[in-house]
């Protein structure tokens, strides 16, 4: 019996397991009710009385060593397991998919391209702005409703600092540091305090344009916008200008394009009018030129501004504005081929 115990002790010292199943098999082999050690325990009854002490001690040693060895091997697994627990199971399975350009960027780039070919350069400015560049320099009266808390995000402790509500602020910044001829477009993100729904968000993207020179007329504006509409929506596209009001332009207009779903016949998309609105525009109000250091007796100019979301909705028939900011890759991947 002693020899048998010695042999098992040797065996137990050398056990190895390369996975949890193997380890469990070892536990069953040595330590379970029907295991080798229990079998020896059962035989212990038959050990002659004078050997009982020695055999008993050896048997206990064997049992302890077996338990220790199994625990050691288990520890080795557990420390490997911590590595496994750090695995990010939400990660995309290999191979990691390539990203695609965001639909708003695709359309913004297209707008920039079209105006770039007509000689417009890009101007940029801060999203956190002051009242002067967003409103005052743009001829907004002191009590104009657009300054109201409902539309504009203010910084509580600094009522003069706001999130820009349009990129006209960039036009103001361009005018204050340069003299005509000025021909710029101002793409960028703007913020308005609106309840988020399928048709409004608290931020969106604009491209505004400004052209100032001698003898710039409304005809120039109309031609540039027609060219833009036909490049963006197809050569058959017609435009229509409706009188409107903006504090910074006089006269002001809103531009519609012929509905490209029904070809102008009238459908649910254009609310049976045959037209859909795409932008605001007008001749720069002389008061704006003067406020920004440009002589309104010498120069005239036009300005226009459009929402990139709106243009993207029309081009790709996206019904819910929120899709643009939810980062749902199933939606974003639909624009892969437009890249
Ligand atoms: N700034 C206007 C807006 O945010 C758009 C616009 C720009 C209209 C230039 C006319 C001329 O709604």
Token representation of residue 209: 């344009």
Alpha carbon 171 to chain centroid, angstroms: 27
- pLDDT, tens digit (0-9, with 9 covering 90-100), for 160-180: 999 999 999 999 999 999 999
With contact defined as beta carbons under 8 Å apart, do 259 and 275 qualify? Answer: yes
The binding site for Mg(2+) consists of 250
pLDDT of residue 201 exceeding 70: yes
Mean pLDDT of 12-17: 86
Better-scored residue on pLDDT, 86 or 33? 33
Residue written as tokens 């750090």?
86
Is residue 282 in contact with ligand 1, taking CB distance under 6 Å? yes
Query: If you average pLDDT over every residue of the chain, what do you get?
Result: 90
Question: Would you list the domain boundaries of the chain?
Answer: 2-86, 103-338
- pLDDT, tens digit (0-9, with 9 covering 90-100), for 250-307: 999 999 999 978 888 888 878 899 999 999 999 999 999 999 999 999 999 999 999 9
Alpha carbon 78 to chain centroid, angstroms: 38
Q: How far apart are CA 334 and CA 178, in angstroms?
A: 42
Q: Output the pLDDT for position 83.
A: 55
The binding site consists of 250
Q: Coil, strand or helix: which one is 132?
A: helix
Q: How far apart are CA 320 and CA 327, in angstroms?
A: 13
Query: Contacts from 109-114 at CB under 8 Å and sequence distance 24+?
Result: 110/232, 111/185, 111/187, 111/207, 111/228, 111/232, 111/306, 111/308, 111/311, 112/185, 112/187, 112/207, 114/227, 114/228, 114/231, 114/232
Is residue 285 in contact with ligand 1, taking CB distance under 6 Å? no
Pair type for strands 158-163 and 154-155: antiparallel
pLDDT of residue 231 exceeding 70: yes
Q: Output the pLDDT for position 164.
A: 96
Token representation of residue 324: 């643009």
Is residue 188 in contact with ligand 1, taking CB distance under 6 Å? no
Mean pLDDT of 46-70: 89
Q: The pTM is what?
A: 0.72
Atom of ligand 1 nearest to the CA of 210: 9
- pLDDT, tens digit (0-9, with 9 covering 90-100), for 291-312: 999 999 999 999 999 999 999 9
**321 CB-near residues (< 8 Å, 6+ apart):** 197, 198, 199, 200, 201, 204, 309, 313
Q: Output the pLDDT for position 260.
A: 79
Specify the CATH number of the domain 103-338.
3.30.930.10
With contact defined as beta carbons under 8 Å apart, do 163 and 117 qualify? Answer: no
pLDDT of residue 149 exceeding 70: no
Query: Contacts from 53-60 at CB under 8 Å and sequence distance 24+?
Result: 54/2, 55/1, 55/2, 55/5, 58/2, 58/5, 58/6, 58/9, 59/5
Is residue 246 in contact with ligand 1, taking CB distance under 6 Å? yes
- pLDDT, tens digit (0-9, with 9 covering 90-100), for 62-97: 889 988 988 888 887 776 655 556 777 887 777 777
């Amino acid at each position: 019996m002693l020899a048998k115990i010695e042999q098992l002790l040797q065996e137990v010292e050398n056990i190895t397991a390369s996975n949890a199943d193997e380890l469990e098999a070892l536990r069953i082999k040595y330590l379970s009710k029907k295991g080798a050690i229990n079998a020896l325990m059962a035989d212990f009854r038959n050990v002659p009385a004078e050997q009982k002490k020695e055999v008993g001690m050896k048997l206990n040693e064997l049992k302890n060593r077996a338990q220790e060895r199994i625990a050691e091997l288990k520890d080795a697994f557990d420390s490997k397991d911590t590595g496994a627990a750090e695995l990010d199971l939400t990660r995309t399975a290999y191979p990691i998919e390539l990203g695609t350009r965001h639909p708003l960027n695709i359309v913004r780039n297209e707008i920039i391209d079209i105006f770039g070919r007509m000689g417009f350069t890009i101007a940029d400015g801060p999203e956190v702005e002051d009242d002067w560049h967003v409103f005052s320099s743009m001829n907004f009266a002191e009590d104009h409703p657009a300054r109201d808390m409902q539309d504009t995000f203010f910084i509580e402790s600094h009522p003069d600092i706001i999130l820009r509500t349009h990129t006209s602020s960039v036009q103001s910044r361009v005018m204050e540091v340069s003299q005509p001829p000025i021909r710029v477009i101002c793409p960028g993100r703007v913020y308005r305090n609106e309840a988020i729904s399928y048709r409004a968000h608290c931020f969106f993207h604009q491209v505004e344009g400004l052209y100032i020179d001698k003898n710039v007329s409304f005809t120039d504006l109309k031609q540039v916008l027609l060219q833009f509409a036909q490049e963006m929506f197809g050569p058959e596209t017609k435009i229509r200008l409706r009188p409107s009001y903006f504090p910074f332009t006089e006269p002001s207009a809103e531009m519609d394009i012929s509905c490209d779903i029904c070809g102008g016949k009238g459908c649910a998309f254009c609310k049976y009018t045959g037209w859909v609105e795409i932008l605001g525009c007008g001749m720069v109000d002389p008061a704006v030129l003067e406020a920004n250091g440009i002589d309104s007796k010498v120069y005239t100019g036009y300005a226009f501004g459009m929402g990139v979301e709106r243009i993207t909705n029309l081009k790709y028939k996206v019904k819910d504005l929120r899709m643009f900011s939810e980062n749902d890759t199933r939606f974003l991947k639909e624009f892969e081929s437009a890249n």
